[in-house]
Amino acid sequence: MAEATLSRTRRIDAWWVQPALTALGLAVFFGYLTYRAFQATYVWYEPYISPTVAPPLFTAASGYPGGVPVEHAWLGAFPSFWPSFLPQSPAFFIPAFAIMFRFTCYYYRGAYYKAFVFAPPTCAVRGATKRYKGETALLVFQNLHRYTLYAALFLLVCLWWEAGVAFFKGGKFGVGVGTIVMVLNAAFLSAYTFGCHSWRHLIGGKVDCFSCDGRVSPRYKLWKGSSWFNERHMLFAWCSLVWVCFTDFYIQLVARGVIPDLNTW
Ligand code: FES
């Protein structure tokens, strides 16, 4: 007889709350970002740009209210051979790296395996599968995470650049609420990225001893710093995810004229 998968535990606490909240949070925030990535409207309000489309390689020449201006896109308007059934969204290019980076992140892997496929749902609760196969077969692509890190680092530089650009409107220096929101977005994403296990290995791996010559190396200090972020990786994973959504939401509201942007310009 088939076993009831989620009831096979002796735990009497509300063990299902955490995986249920995780599933809800992932569905809401990733759902929002996916929707906005396909929408690509109200993602621009000078000098602000939504992280869902930044940095823009191409942008739509017309038909997308509040879209990124052509002169701000690295390569201008979408080419004429772009398939008509696809939206002309800059999100399909460089910003898509962020999805690959998060999808293969060690923390998120654990979170969505537990939340969506119950493999297993949590500690000491039998999961949906009886045999643990690890990340083999189809899931072997998760090993690409170390390479998506390089793309994420590049994206981080771009987002800090866009945050810097957000201090200038019409060539005049100033600061607006949107500037602060964008700077915080880049900061949270940095805290998330610099706590990445692959990053920590990149800067601290392959050595047996950091101070064999009696001196503490700069590399050791860097690794210690990364370890601090690594211990809080889950926290920054959520903070950065929520703040990316908030940044887009704020810029969308300002671009739609729903709320004013307080600023010094
Ligand atoms: S392990 Fe989470 S971002 Fe690399």
How remote is the CA of residue 93 from the centroid of ligand 1, in Å?
A: 21
Would the CB of 106 count as within 6 Å of ligand 1?
A: yes
Would the CB of 198 count as within 6 Å of ligand 1?
A: yes
pLDDT digits (tens, 9 = 90+) for 160-203: 999 999 999 999 999 999 999 999 999 999 999 999 999 999 99
Task: Reply yes or no on whether the pLDDT at 4 is more than 50.
Answer: no
pLDDT digits (tens, 9 = 90+) for 89-138: 999 999 999 999 999 999 999 999 888 888 778 888 877 766 667 777 77
pLDDT score for 124: 81
pLDDT score for 7: 53
Task: Reply yes or no on whether the pLDDT at 247 is more than 70.
Answer: yes
pLDDT score for 6: 55
The residue whose C-alpha atom lies closest to atom 4 belonging to ligand 1 is 196
Domain coordinates of the chain in residue numbers?
15-195+232-256
Nearest to 28 by CA among 255, 186, 238: 238
Mutate which of 103, 106, 202 for ligand 1 pocket (most atoms within 8 A of beta carbon) = 106
Nearest to 90 by CA among 112, 116, 61: 61
Indicate the pTM of the whole model.
0.91
